[in-house]
Structure 1
Amino acid sequence: MLRICLLILSAMILIGLPLETGFAQEAAPTAFDAEQASRAYIDTLKGAELEKSNSYFEGGYWLILWGAIVGFLVDLLILQSRLSARFRDWAERVTKRKWLQPGLYALPYSIAGFLIALPWTIYTDFFREKQYDLLDQGFGAWIGELATGFGISLIFFPLIVIAIFAVIRRAPKTWWIWGTGVVAVFLMIGMLLAPVFIAPLFNEYNEMEAGPLRDKIVAMAGENDVPSNHIYVFDQSKQHKRISANVSGFGPTIRISLNDNLLERTDPEEVAAVMGHELGHYVLGHTWRSIFIILLIMGVGLFMVARIAPRLIDRYGDKWGVHGIFDPAVIPVFGLLLTLYFFAATPALNTLIRVNESDADLFGLNVAKEPDGFAKVAMRLSEYRKIEPGPIEEMVFFDHPSGATRVRMAMQWKAANVENPVAVNPGKLEKE
């Protein structure tokens, strides 16, 4: 259940698309062939770099499985050891207020789950990232940010638990519907607060300096009715070299943000391509569409939990010390069921997200009109994303279009929209 809360918190912050670049040299004018132009980009990744990229991303396929197994076993251990029952008993000793007990229970449950899974987290998020040279932080800085994120979860998770158990008590047969509504409320609160109060806990945000590049971003935003009063640059280079940008928040907290890696590692046409993509998410309503999708998936998951959890309690409740669906000690039962559900739903969720990303790609090409900048940015993703997967592989494991798919889209757009298009020799991406 804690992992589900952290997933929701991640959705709140809405980090954008990471991307990358190099210099292009024009070749002699010839008839433009989109496939040949695409291969000129795709084939720049080869040898040890290609092997490293494929190894990192393909290893992530197994992490999906092992992550689900670890999450399942953590909740099962908390149940089998009767830690869950002890956490419930502690909450009942601290307060007699039924509405508050689930929130108190959530504190030791969260801490126990975090500590049990910590070795796995350290391996996947620190040592493995270091192994592939994708993390610039030392262990102290990394663990500090992990602790900060966990601290945030200790604020939100108990509140979510209190609200969900309130609806369980009031509507025991339809609580999963109202529980989905609870998730919706917290997503909205998170969207409102994250840009102003959460994101700055991890990075420093400063207004982008005036200049031609900012003017270009403001112009693209103005043409598409995107608020551009605030354009921030944040210092993500202290964590890693990946490039990213986003349009986050809503209402008074809407802002455009791009990280310093995007400015330092790419050329202006690539920055424009990235920002066109991010503006596309806003204009096309992808934030709201994504929230709807998350809530739909969550609703189905909670419906499944509402049907299966009582049967597990009837069979194993005495062994676990869980008294019923109203008992906060049932939370690990919810957690292990949702872990299995989200693991099974991974391909569907990836596909739904990937469709949004593809739509934003096309929007960005139409707005920025920088197909070669977009292609170079797509190639930069190859540092940590397999460049040319098979179609089934892309459908199951990719939550963004692959680099090859994006490069082909850019070159096909160029063939259709640029007068007398000229193929370029992208060479090697040089900015680091």
Structure 2
Amino acid sequence: MKKIIGWAVAIYVLYCVGMAWYLFSFADTSIPPEWKGTSADPATFLTPREQLLSEQYSQLKNFLFFVSVPYDWLVYFGVLGLGVSKVLQTCATRATKLFVLQVALYVFWLSLIVMALTLPLDFVSYRISRAYDISTQPVSSWLRDELIDFFVNYVLTFFIVTVLYGLIRRFEKRWWLYAWGLSVPFTIFFMFIQPVVIDPLYNDFYPLKDKALEAKILTLAQEAHIPAKHVFEVNMSEKTNALNAYVTGIGSHSRIVLWDTTLKRLQEDEVLFIMAHEMGHYVMKHVYWGVAGYIVLTFFGLLVANWLMKWVIARWGAHLRIKKMRDIASLPLFLLIISLLNFSVSPLVNAVSRYEEHAADKYAIELTGDTEAAVSSFQKLTKAGLSQVNPPYIVKLFRYTHPTILERIVFLQHVQSSKSQ
């Protein structure tokens, strides 16, 4: 097993070298010749230094993403292969006979180990954002968010693992089906409480301070037949210089949220376009479609995870120190498989998201009719976040939930052309 882990580390290192070569030397991020000199060309709205910083920052962040995902897999595999998971299970069972407390102890120790091993990469990502002036967050504030992340994830993981392994122990063959059935109301409940319970742990949310702007946004919402009473503002300027707005939650707890950085750096007509875009998500019920899609993927994910776990344990269980699936020591294997499945379907999930974002762009243009504000808002989003206008294809495939800035501005130029004809 130590040799296998050694080979896994060697393959990971080679993968990192190959990915670095692809992202930093091989990938072509230039603008197609037909769009040179247009509003889609970063040379028309970014200074030469901003173009250089944008390229460097995007390359570094993309590289970190592609090395951190398999690094997580390596951590889970190492915890299993080196017998750490088995030791944690033994310690938990010796400490208490109650299954719930065994899970609580095991999940806590495993979470600490994973956090300790992954925190350095997270810190590097944070330092890069600070170095390129994207993040304005002090180290103390960043550590506070990491600590909140740890305990929020711990509570959720403890609850899920307790239910999951309780079902595996009682229904060895059909546990995945019952787990999926329970995940449906849990997913809906979590989406319902996230805007009012989870999100406020990280930032302060309050009704939009600019009442004149809020009145215009609510008038726009009326035209779209949206029964909105408030637009929410969040104080992100203490953490970042990037711009954003989003729609979150379901039912009566749905919220349209604007970052205060967006309000400070965009003109009123640009903010109205961004709001119209978010209203498009609401009108076309993208949040509900997202929840439905997640429920469907969870069904197939648990089905495949059940099959893979049984197969792996039957073939390599002795090497991984796992006797049965019901052993809590098998949790890293479950997490590894789920992570692999999530990564494998991410191109499909991202493609659906990009389709919805494009539909929201179209809706916003139909509602506001202001293509100039739309173009300038996308340009300012690029400038604030140092985003690549035309990222490498593999980056778009695995990372982009929105169309690229090139695609969005080109679409707007086609709209402008059709209007002028």
**What's the secondary structure of 1:237's corresponding residue?**
coil
Give the aligned residue type for 1:264: K
**How many angstroms apart in 2 are the aligned matches of 1:117 and 1:315?**
29
**What's the secondary structure of 1:304's corresponding residue?**
helix
Q: Tell me the alpha carbon deviations over residues 80-100 of structure 1, each in whole angstroms, 9 at most, x when there is no partner.
A: 232212222233334434456
Judge conservation of contact 2:235–2:259 (CA < 8 Å) in 1: yes
Give the aligned residue type for 1:244: N
- Residues 7-406 of structure 1 correspond to what in structure 2 (within 5 A)? 38-39=39-40, 43-45=44-46, 47-98=48-99, 101-124=102-125, 126-209=126-209, 211-382=211-382, 383-389=385-391, 394-395=396-397, 397-406=399-408
**How many angstroms apart in 1 are the aligned matches of 2:68 and 2:412?**
35
**How many angstroms apart in 2 are the aligned matches of 1:157 and 1:322?**
20
**What's the secondary structure of 1:238's corresponding residue?**
coil
Deviates most, 287-296 or 360-369 = 287-296
- Report the Cα offset of residue 35 of structure 1: 9.6
**How many angstroms apart in 2 are the aligned matches of 1:62 and 1:184?**
35
**How many angstroms apart in 1 are the aligned matches of 2:369 and 2:168?**
52
Judge conservation of contact 1:270–1:373 (CA < 8 Å) in 2: yes
- Report the Cα offset of residue 401 of structure 1: 0.6
Structure 2: where are the runs of 5+ without partners? 1-33
**How many angstroms apart in 1 are the aligned matches of 2:416 and 2:35?**
8
**How many angstroms apart in 2 are the aligned matches of 1:114 and 1:69?**
15
Judge conservation of contact 1:100–1:162 (CA < 8 Å) in 2: no
- Report the Cα offset of residue 58 of structure 1: 3.3
Q: Which residue of 2 aligns with 1:11?
A: none
Judge conservation of contact 2:43–2:51 (CA < 8 Å) in 1: no
Judge conservation of contact 1:103–1:161 (CA < 8 Å) in 2: no
**How many angstroms apart in 2 are the aligned matches of 1:310 and 1:167?**
15
Judge conservation of contact 2:40–2:405 (CA < 8 Å) in 1: no
- Report the Cα offset of residue 242 of structure 1: 1.3
- Report the Cα offset of residue 46 of structure 1: 5.2
Rate the CA distance shift 1:405–1:46 in 2: closer, same or farther, 3 A.
farther
Judge conservation of contact 2:133–2:241 (CA < 8 Å) in 1: no
Rate the CA distance shift 1:51–1:180 in 2: closer, same or farther, 3 A.
farther
- Report the Cα offset of residue 331 of structure 1: 0.6
- Report the Cα offset of residue 332 of structure 1: 0.4
**What's the secondary structure of 1:272's corresponding residue?**
helix
Judge conservation of contact 1:247–1:278 (CA < 8 Å) in 2: yes
- Report the Cα offset of residue 397 of structure 1: 4.2
**What's the secondary structure of 2:237's corresponding residue?**
helix
Rate the CA distance shift 1:58–1:329 in 2: closer, same or farther, 3 A.
same
**How many angstroms apart in 2 are the aligned matches of 1:392 and 1:70?**
18
Q: Which residue of 1 aligns with 2:21?
A: none
**How many angstroms apart in 2 are the aligned matches of 1:34 and 1:320?**
54
More helix by share: 2
Q: Tell me the alpha carbon deviations over residues 26-58 of structure 1, each in whole angstroms, 9 at most, x when there is no partner.
A: xxxxxxx99976447773235232232223223
Q: Which residue of 2 aligns with 1:12?
A: none
Rate the CA distance shift 1:77–1:393 in 2: closer, same or farther, 3 A.
closer
Q: Which residue of 1 aligns with 2:9?
A: none
TM-score normalised over the length of structure 1: 0.82
Rate the CA distance shift 1:40–1:230 in 2: closer, same or farther, 3 A.
same
Judge conservation of contact 2:273–2:374 (CA < 8 Å) in 1: yes
Structure 1: where are the runs of 5+ without partners? 1-32, 422-432
Larger RCO: 1 or 2 (CA < 8 Å, sep 6+)? 1
Count of aligned positions? 386
Q: Which residue of 2 aligns with 1:24?
A: none
**What's the secondary structure of 2:379's corresponding residue?**
helix
Judge conservation of contact 1:313–1:322 (CA < 8 Å) in 2: yes
**How many angstroms apart in 1 are the aligned matches of 2:346 and 2:249?**
26
- Report the Cα offset of residue 391 of structure 1: 6.1
TM-score normalised over the length of structure 2: 0.84
**How many angstroms apart in 1 are the aligned matches of 2:351 and 2:307?**
27
**How many angstroms apart in 1 are the aligned matches of 2:211 and 2:69?**
47
Rate the CA distance shift 1:331–1:297 in 2: closer, same or farther, 3 A.
same
**How many angstroms apart in 2 are the aligned matches of 1:40 and 1:120?**
33
Deviates most, 35-44 or 298-307 = 35-44
% identical equivalent positions: 25
**How many angstroms apart in 2 are the aligned matches of 1:121 and 1:35?**
36
Rate the CA distance shift 1:74–1:35 in 2: closer, same or farther, 3 A.
closer
- Report the Cα offset of residue 201 of structure 1: 1.4
Judge conservation of contact 1:104–1:158 (CA < 8 Å) in 2: no
Deviates most, 92-101 or 317-326 = 92-101
